[in-house]
Amino acid sequence: MQAQESVNLYTQQLKKLEKVGKILALSNEELEVLSKPERVIQVKIQIKSNNSIKTFLGWRSQHNSALGPYKGGVRFHPNVTQDEVIALSMIMTWKNSLLQLPYGGGKGGIAIDPKLLSKEELELVSRKYIDGLYKYLGEDFDIPAPDVNTDSQIMAWFVDEYVKLTGNINFSSFTGKTEILGGLKIREFSTGLGLVSIAKLASEKFLGNLSGKTVIIQGFGNLGSFAAKFFEENGSKVIGVSDSKGGVFNEKGLRYEELEKAKKATGSVINYSDANKISNEELIEKECDILVPAALENVITKANASKIKAKLIVEGANGPITAEADEILKQRQIIVIPDILANSGGVVGSYVEWANNKSGNLINEEEAKDLILKRMERAFYEIYNKYNSLGNEDFRTASMVVAVERVIKGMKERGLI
pLDDT at 296: 82
Q: Phi-psi bin for 332: left (phi > 0), alpha (psi -120 to 50), beta? A: alpha
Under a CB-based contact definition with an 8 Å cutoff, are residues 86 and 40 in contact?
Answer: yes
pLDDT at 5 > cutoff 60: no
**Domains, the chain, ranges and CATH?**
36-172 (3.40.50.10860), 190-342 (3.40.50.720)
19 catalytic? Reply is no
Q: How far apart are CA 242 and CA 59, in angstroms?
A: 29
Which of 202-206, 271-275, 366-370 reaches the highest mean pLDDT? 202-206
pLDDT at 1: 41
Q: How far apart are CA 140 and CA 122, in angstroms?
A: 27
Q: How far apart are CA 35 and CA 1, in angstroms?
A: 29
Are β-strands 237-243 and 246-249 bridged in parallel, bridged antiparallel, or unpaired? Answer: antiparallel
Work out the percent of the chain whose per-residue pLDDT is above 70: 99
* Res. 251 pLDDT band, cuts 50 70 90: very high
Mean pLDDT of 19-36: 96
User: Which residues make Cβ contacts (< 8 Å) with residue 48, sequence separation at least 6?
Assistant: 54
| Distance, CA of 344 to chain centre | 7
Q: Looking at 71, 107, 213, 229, which residue is catalytic?
A: 107
User: Which residues make Cβ contacts (< 8 Å) with residue 111, sequence separation at least 6?
Assistant: 56, 57, 58, 77, 78, 79, 80, 81
Top pLDDT among 170 and 80 is at: 80
pLDDT at 12 > cutoff 70: yes
pLDDT at 4 > cutoff 70: no
Work out the percent of the chain whose per-residue pLDDT is above 90: 92
The DSSP result for 272-339, as a single string, is -SSSEEE-HHHHTTS-EEEEEE-S-S--B-TTTGGG--EEEEE--SSS-B-HHHHHHHHHTT-EEE-H
* Report field, pTM of the whole predicted structure over 0.85: yes
Q: Phi-psi bin for 48: left (phi > 0), alpha (psi -120 to 50), beta? A: beta
User: Which residues make Cβ contacts (< 8 Å) with residue 247, sequence separation at least 6?
Assistant: 218, 240, 241, 269, 270, 277, 278, 279, 280, 282, 283
Mean pLDDT of 329-352: 96
Q: How far apart are CA 313 and CA 308, in angstroms?
A: 10
pLDDT at 380 > cutoff 80: yes
